[in-house]
Amino acid sequence: MTQKETRTMHHAIEGDRREIDGLDARIIELLGQRARVSARIQRNRVSAGGPRTVLAREAEVLGRYQDGLGATGTPIAMNVLKLCRGVSPTTEQALTR
């Protein structure tokens, strides 16, 4: 590989890395938004005398992630649900940045 080809490859990689960084920022923003909406649902459900979580609903979410991402979707969904189940003040602050 020539020096010019190497520079071109490194330039392309850096561009792709910037794109990944932007995607990660959007994912973090969306997770924060999801956690806030989930906390709102949980507060409303509990104030109406219901449970904080509904397992049938969580099963739907797990299925959607598995359908969309295959086997890796299940652990991703589990982590998203875990993040959104119990939004503590510390977590909420981190997610609103």
pLDDT tens digits, 22-65: 999 999 999 999 999 999 999 999 999 999 899 999 999 999 99
- Find all residues with CB under 8 Å of 79, minimum gap 6, and list them: none
In the predicted structure, residue 4 carries a pLDDT above the cut 90: no
**Which of residues 93 and 1 earns the better pLDDT score?**
1
What's residue 86's pLDDT?
Answer: 73
Asked if 77 and 63 touch (Cβ cutoff 8 Å), the reply is: no
Amino acid, single-letter form, for residue 28: I
In the predicted structure, residue 93 carries a pLDDT above the cut 90: no
High-pLDDT (> 90) share of the chain, %: 77
Q: Which pair of structure tokens corresponds to residue 87?
A: 């939004």
Of 87, 86, 90, 96, the closest CA to residue 33 belongs to 96
The number of residues making up the chain comes to: 97
Q: How confident is the model at residue 95 (pLDDT cuts 50, 70, 90)?
A: low
**Which of residues 94 and 63 earns the better pLDDT score?**
63
**Residue 2: strand, helix, or coil:** coil
Q: What is the DSSP letter of 31?
A: H
